[in-house]
């Protein structure tokens, strides 16, 4: 069946939103081969996660069973995006099909599904409607897909808890240290980071409770940085770029700002001329953003962090072949 203008617009819009979001320099983006899907892409950091999607517009829900079965059977998919016309019949059928998988071995894969509903009267020929739908999808995809998949499920509450540490710079230094060197024991880490053993233990436990560190034991021990911890480290690195005045053209990066806004990080509200360190620091201790920037500034001043470089788009196999 030939696709409609609405179908094509929505599929292209989903890809464009994810590609534009990669300009935040928090992850890389490469468009994937469609194969069984209407659109596909690969989000990259120090891992690679495939996002595939279908756009349901005209076929009245007849293909929902097949689409969901394909989504759940594909091994390599980390997120399955469904963009569909908002109709009671389609919503009812989608719920019915997904519920049928709850008692099967596939139930664990249902969490990869993300559904974004579009007004049923949407017309791709209406420029105002296109802009409205695109803005709505951008907000929803960023909150329900990019934060969950590309940024490890990071939330505004996580960012606030991270910022609340009373030891400026130490949470960032710990994440950087463990990501680079691993974690052997408290005494070794405390010596390498030049902090007291008690301070290190407290901060390690706090990062573990927040979910930025993980361990095979509930009691801790050999820690590893979680995806959300890595994302927080990446965000801190981009905030360092902001404080140094090289976040982007004019020290502005709209996509990074948008993602930070969803996380409650209003960094443009703190001018780069603000004194963040020393006795005369101009830091509002009730403002999580100000506290986070103080952490970044202190970690930068201490020189104890290997700041992650921005993630750029990787060339596709066809581009590599063409260049050769």
Name the pLDDT band for 126 (thresholds 50, 70, 90).
very high
CB 133 within 8 A of CB 122: yes
Q: What percent of the chain has pLDDT above 90?
A: 61
The H-assigned helical ranges of 57-155 are 64-73, 88-99, 127-141
Q: Of 165 and 45, which is predicted with more confidence?
A: 165
How confident is the model at residue 60, as a pLDDT?
62
Of 232, 238, 233, 264, nearest to 253 by C-alpha is: 238
CA–CA gap between residue 157 and residue 182 (Å, rounded): 26
How confident is the model at residue 253, as a pLDDT?
95
How confident is the model at residue 220, as a pLDDT?
56
Of 75, 116, 74, 78, nearest to 94 by C-alpha is: 116
CA–CA gap between residue 312 and residue 44 (Å, rounded): 9
How confident is the model at residue 313, as a pLDDT?
47
Q: How many CB atoms lie within 10 A of CB 323?
A: 7
252-300 pLDDT, tens digit per residue, is: 999 999 999 999 999 999 999 999 998 888 888 889 999 999 999 999 9
**Residue 283, CB-side half-sphere exposure with 13 Å CA sphere:** 23
CB 143 within 8 A of CB 110: no
CA–CA gap between residue 89 and residue 64 (Å, rounded): 11
Q: Of 153 and 46, which is predicted with more confidence?
A: 153
Of 182, 201, 179, nearest to 190 by C-alpha is: 201
Of 87, 93, 137, nearest to 116 by C-alpha is: 137
Of 256, 247, 234, 239, nearest to 308 by C-alpha is: 234
Among the ranges given (99-108, 157-166, 193-202, 256-265), the one the predictor scored with the smallest mean pLDDT = 99-108
How confident is the model at residue 314, as a pLDDT?
44
Burial (CB count within 10 angstroms: exposed 0-12, middle 13-18, buried 19+), residue 106: middle
Question: If you average pLDDT over residues 147-169, what whole number do you get?
Answer: 93
Which tokens belong to 236?
């801190």
pTM summary value: 0.87
- Over the chain, what is the mean pLDDT? 88
Name the pLDDT band for 123 (thresholds 50, 70, 90).
very high
12-52 pLDDT, tens digit per residue, is: 999 999 999 999 999 999 888 767 789 999 998 888 889 99
pLDDT at 61 over 90: no
Burial (CB count within 10 angstroms: exposed 0-12, middle 13-18, buried 19+), residue 185: exposed
CA–CA gap between residue 220 and residue 225 (Å, rounded): 12
Strand partners, 55: 83
Phi, psi (deg, nearest 5) at residue 184: -95, -60
Q: Are strands 77-85 and 223-225 parallel, antiparallel or unpaired?
A: unpaired
Phi, psi (deg, nearest 5) at residue 79: -145, 135
């Amino acid at each position: 069946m030939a696709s409609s203008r609405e179908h094509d617009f929505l599929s292209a819009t989903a890809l464009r939103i994810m590609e534009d979001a990669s300009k935040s320099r928090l992850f890389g983006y490469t468009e994937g081969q469609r194969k069984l899907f209407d659109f596909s892409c690969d989000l990259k950091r120090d891992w690679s996660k495939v996002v595939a999607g279908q756009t349901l517009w005209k076929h009245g829900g007849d293909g929902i069973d097949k689409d969901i079965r394909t989504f759940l059977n594909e091994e390599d998919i980390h997120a399955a995006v469904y963009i569909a016309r908002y109709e009671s019949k389609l919503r009812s059928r989608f719920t019915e099909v997904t519920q049928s998988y709850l008692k099967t071995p596939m139930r664990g894969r249902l969490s990869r599904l993300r559904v974004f509903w579009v007004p049923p009267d949407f017309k791709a020929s209406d420029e105002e409607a296109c802009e409205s739908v695109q803005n709505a999808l951008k907000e929803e995809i960023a909150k329900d897909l990019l934060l969950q998949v590309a940024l490890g499920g990071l939330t505004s509450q996580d960012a606030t808890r991270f910022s609340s540490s009373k030891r400026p710079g130490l949470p960032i230094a710990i994440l950087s240290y463990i990501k680079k060197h691993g974690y052997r024991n408290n005494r070794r880490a405390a010596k390498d980071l030049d902090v007291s053993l008690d301070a290190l233990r407290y901060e390690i436990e706090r990062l573990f409770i927040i979910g930025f560190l993980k361990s095979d034991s509930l009691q801790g021990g050999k820690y590893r940085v979680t995806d959300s911890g890595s994302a927080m480290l990446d965000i801190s690195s981009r905030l360092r770029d902001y404080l140094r005045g090289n976040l982007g053209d004019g020290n502005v990066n709209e996509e990074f700002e948008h993602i930070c806004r969803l996380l409650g990080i209003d960094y443009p509200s703190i001018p780069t001329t603000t004194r963040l360190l020393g006795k005369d620091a101009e830091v509002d201790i009730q403002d999580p953003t100000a506290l986070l920037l103080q952490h970044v500034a202190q970690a930068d001043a201490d020189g104890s962090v290997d700041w992650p470089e921005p993630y750029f788009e990787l060339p596709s196999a066809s581009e590599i072949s063409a260049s050769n």
